[in-house]
Amino acid sequence: MKFKKLIIMKKSVVLLVALFLQSLSLYAADPLVITNPEVVRGATLAFAFGSVDPQGNVVTEKGICWATSPNPGIEDNTVTAAALSYRCRLDNIPPASRLYIRAYAKTSDEQVYYGENRTFTTIPKGKVTYTVNQPAAEDIDHFNRIKAAAETSVEYYNKLTSISNKHLTFNYNSGVPTADASYSGWIRFGPNASYQQVGTALHEMAHCIGVGTHSSWTGLVLKNGVYVGRRANRVLQLMTGDSKAYIKGDGTHFWPYGINGAHEDDHSEMTYIINTMIVQAMGEDGLPPSGGFATPAETFAAEAGKKYYIKSEATDQGGRDSMFLVAGTDNTLILETMTPAKALADERAAWYFHFDPATQYYFIRNAATGQHLSLNATQAYNGFTLKDSAQTAVDKLRFQLIRNRNEIMSGDDQAWMDLSGFWMINPNSGGTTQSLRAFRQTIYSYNTSLADANSTLRWILLDEEQTAQFDKIIGGQGAFDPDTSLVYTIKPAGQDKRIKASITNSLNQVDLREDDKSQKWKLQTVETQEEGKKRYYLYNLGSKKCLTIQKWIGEETSTAQALRNTKMLAKDEANINQQLSLKSVEVDFSGDVPVRYITIENDHPVMLDTVLDERSYRLQILSETTQVGNFFDVDGVRDSQRWILIPDQVQSSLPQATALAAELFYRDGLLHYRLPENSTLEVFTLTGQLVTKTQSNPGSGELMLEKGIYMVRVRQQQNSEVVKILAH
């Protein structure tokens, strides 16, 4: 009887646990399902990536579903996964096709949750052919092993790469110690049976497509022992789950996954797959696999029906900062000076990109004319024009896009935009491929060179949102919204000085002293503001007065007036000369940390005598003096009118531990912290906007930080420590 009671009690406990878990799910948030937009793909095989955060739910199944139409579901093709962050292998997928994927999660109540709908294209199947030369009869065992290795390795190439026009000849040569190969496709195996294997065959085939055998290997994609091509490195990172992994190499080989010797051949299918997919990616990065040109691929994720805007990457020759590529008269292409707002309103500046999975080429159509970008002549002014697609040979309309190996810019603490240019190449010109070129702010066709220095051959492709943000980001111009809760020092551009309010109510530039309150400033927002305008009082903590910039009448060279009309006065809300604008004029990306330059100015329209003066009067270092005055805008922003606002106590790097014994460590998007008792951790943007705040008593944890530059402040009672961190 006791035994039966025990069973009943156990059943009751199980039932209670089940009911408890079910009750939890009633109050849990929906699972968070994420579909990674990046895919590693071949022709008939791909790897897709996803993750699931159960958020209190019981997840019974998860994985990737795929189809040839958008928004696939579990009723379509599915591949399940075990871990919460996972990689799924998609087998037997159609080559040269557009596919759609979604990560999914199924919960214990049979509900299904999906991640974002993502799309990618598979590549065409490779067309690599091969011959195995018959050796002497006594070497038949060598022949059989080499033949089997050749058959399998070529199958990998034809399923996972799009390489064509390549013939490989496999040979046995008793005088070869291990194996060797040439770019022409001639491969030799020696008598060592451990090298007569698939791994060695794949290694040697990589030489046949240019690894260590083509001038582009060391001339373009390998720099100082590090492979710099985007796609191959990204394949390695995705397949290994290590975002910091990079391919290394020398004049002959690459690693990892180069299978550089029998000792690296683990006979693993996954090793062979990764090796082959890296080789395909190297062709897409610019390494010519068959004596012709780089492998075409979908390198720019253009959305159907979406408008894009085109700028030259070249600052001077192409007018990067002020010009757009537009449709001109008589089917011509021109670079026209226009603002982003004007470009967005002008259909001549808008372009549609269509990608053809069968050929892996793009077709580019102008929104205003409906005509396509087309090769007109080689090495010529107006070498590219606009033509009707129905009346033009298709090979003139095809474009291969190859992305620059370097970023043009990465934005700053207020606005981030990862941009790089693309070579826009017509690959079917009957000889040397022709690239769209900006030269002396006009359009040419030009022989393609994939060298980093050739910015005149590269073009920035922007969607509507990026176009609207472009001037602000590349020039550092536009809205500047500093945090008014912080204390700042004001640094002149190009000088290691700070602005100080003197006892005579004037301004001077002096050496920095941390204990000098006359060098410390608070920004106070002006309550009554014009629509679309932001103005501030610059309040000095030492003098307890506000910076006043008064407009004045006189010659530009009047230093005396410039000084008299720049002063510190008691705060007066009726004095509009204290209500100053802070305007961002440039962000310098040349250093490790971007630096924003601003102007401090009075831009109120003011009646001077009988004339309405609408000029901006800017705070300025006066020539050959330590004094600070103001001058009106004559010829744009001068170097002496550029300033940097620096939040007080910001240090130059992130130490391992602060003075408050708070341990801080940043890696892969996460700020890890351990805080002392009764302390607070705050994270700000570089301009002072609070991002997040946490308290400890004591405690540890981690914070996810998006791309940007942050200040991290740890406070404990009256003590504080501020450090700066660059988050990638």
Q: How confident is the model at residue 510 (pLDDT cuts 50, 70, 90)?
A: very high
Boundary residue ending a domain (475, 491, 523): 475
CB atoms within 10 A of CB 160: 26
* Neighbour tally for 376: CB within 10 Å: 20
d(CA 675, CA 496): 34
Angstrom distance (rounded) from CA 102 to CA 115 = 6
- pLDDT average, residue stretch 338-347: 94
Domain assignment present for residue 652? The answer is no
Rounded Cα distance, 714 and 694, in Å: 10
In this structure, what CATH number is given to the domain that contains residue 71? Answer: 2.60.40.2060
Domain boundary among 647, 681, 711: 647
Tokens 């060695």, located at residue: 200
- Residues counted in the chain: 728
Distance of CA 229 to the CA centre of its chain: 14
Mean pLDDT of 161-190: 97
Most confident by average pLDDT, 161-170, 694-703, 706-715: 161-170
d(CA 620, CA 632): 10
Amino acid at 234: R
Residue 184, token pair as written in the block = 């022409």
Question: Do 297 and 360 form a contact (C-beta atoms < 8 A)?
Answer: yes
Q: Please check whether residues 48 and 91 belong to one and the same domain.
A: yes
Half-sphere exposure of 29 (CA within 13 A, CB side): 7
Inside any domain, residue 2: no
Task: Please check whether residues 227 and 252 belong to one and the same domain.
Answer: yes
CB environment 175-189: b (16+ within 10 A), e (fewer)? ebebbebebebbbbb
**Co-location of 329 and 462 in the same domain:** yes
Judged on CB neighbours under 10 Å (0-12, 13-18, 19+), 17 is: exposed
Check pLDDT > 90 for residue 178: yes
User: Do 437 and 493 lie in a common domain?
Assistant: no
Domain boundary residue among 475, 493, 515? 475
Highest-pLDDT range among 296-310, 399-413, 577-591, 609-623: 296-310
pLDDT tens by residue, 29-48: 899 999 999 999 999 999 99
Query: CATH number, domain at 388?
Result: 2.80.10.50
Q: Is 22 inside a domain boundary?
A: no
Residue 717 sits in a domain of what CATH number?
A: 2.60.40.3110
Report the candidate in 373, 495, 485, 475 with the shortest Cα–Cα distance to residue 422: 373
In a domain, 8, yes or no: no
Residues 680-699: b if buried by 16+ CB within 10 A, e if exposed: ebbbbbbbbbeeeeeebeee
Torsion angle in degrees (nearest 10) through CA of 141, 143, 145, 150: -170
Q: Which two tokens stand for residue 344?
A: 């967005």
* Distance, CA of 550 to CA of 577 (rounded, Å): 5
723 within 8 A of 665, measured Cβ to Cβ:
no
| 463 falls within a domain | yes
| Residues near 482 by beta carbon (within 8 Å), at least 6 away in sequence | 488, 523, 536, 582, 645, 687, 688
Lowest-pLDDT range of 33-47, 419-433, 682-696: 682-696
More confident residue, 646 or 478: 646
Q: What is the pTM of this model?
A: 0.69
The helix (run of H) or strand (run of E) holding residue 18 is: helix 2-27
> In this predicted structure, which of 57-71, 295-309, 398-412 has the lowest mean pLDDT?
398-412
CA 620, CA 697: separation in Å to the nearest integer? 48
The predicted structure's pLDDT at residue 71 = 97
Instruction: List the beta bridge partners of residue 584.
Output: 478, 598
Q: What was the pLDDT predicted at 494?
A: 83
Per the prediction, the chain carries an average pLDDT of: 85
Q: Is the pLDDT of residue 478 over 70?
A: no
User: Running DSSP on this structure, what letter comes out for residue 388?
Assistant: -
Q: Are residues 230 and 100 in the same domain?
A: no
| Cα separation values, 599 from 321, 326, 397, 617, Å | 20, 33, 47, 10
Whether 363 maps to a domain, the answer reads yes
Mean pLDDT for 543-569 is 85
| 450 & 534 share domain | no
pLDDT at 480 over 70: no
Beta bridge partners of 536: 525, 580
558, 451: one domain: no
Q: State which H helix or E strand residue 639 sits in.
A: none
Whether 14 is in a domain gets the answer no
Q: Which has more pLDDT, 241 or 8? A: 241
Pair (702, 592) in one structural domain: no
Instruction: Check pLDDT > 50 for residue 13.
Output: no
Residue 155 lies in a domain: yes
In this predicted structure, the answer to whether residue 415 has a pLDDT above a threshold of 70 is: no
Q: What is the DSSP letter of 195?
A: G
Cross-strand pairs, 460: 311
In this structure, the answer to whether residues 318 and 466 fall within a common structural domain is yes
Residues 45 and 126: their CA atoms lie apart, in Å, by: 13
In a shared domain, residues 466 and 496: no
Q: Give me the DSSP letters along 311-371.
A: EES-SSSS-TTTEEEEE-GGG-EEEEE--HHHHHT-GGG-EEEEEETTTTEEEEEETTT-P
Task: Specify whether the CB–CB gap between 7 and 14 falls below 8 A.
Answer: no
Output phi, psi for 123, to 5 deg: -95, 160
Number of neighbouring beta carbons within 10 Å of residue 208: 26
Confidence of residue 687 (pLDDT cuts 50, 70, 90): low
260-274, 364-378, 513-527, 578-592: least confidently modelled range: 578-592
pLDDT at residue 148, as a whole number: 98
Question: CA-to-CA distance for 312 and 320, rounded, in angstroms?
Answer: 5
pLDDT for position 418:
60
How many whole angstroms separate alpha carbon 30 and alpha carbon 178? 57
For residue 567, the enclosing domain spans: 479-647
Q: Give me the percent of the chain exceeding a pLDDT of 90.
A: 60
- The pLDDT of residue 441 is 87
- Residue 244, pLDDT score: 85
Count: domains in the chain: 5
Average pLDDT over residues 497-520: 92
**488 vs 650: CA distance, rounded Å:** 10
Q: Could you tell me if 552 and 633 lie in one domain? A: yes
Quick one: CA torsion of 680, 685, 689, 693, rounded to 10 degrees? -20
User: Considering just the CA atoms, what is the radius of gyration of the chain in Å?
Assistant: 32
- Average pLDDT in the 681-695 region? 69
pLDDT band at 612 (very low <50, low <70, confident <90, very high): confident
User: Which pLDDT band, with edges at 50, 70 and 90, does 314 fall under?
Assistant: confident
Same domain, 133 and 207: yes
Per-residue confidence band for 476, with pLDDT thresholds at 50, 70 and 90: low
User: For helices 140-160 and 198-208, what crossing angle results, to 10°?
Assistant: 60
Which region among 136-150, 165-179, 214-228, 693-707 has the lowest average model confidence (pLDDT)? Answer: 693-707
Quote the DSSP letter at residue 285. Answer: H
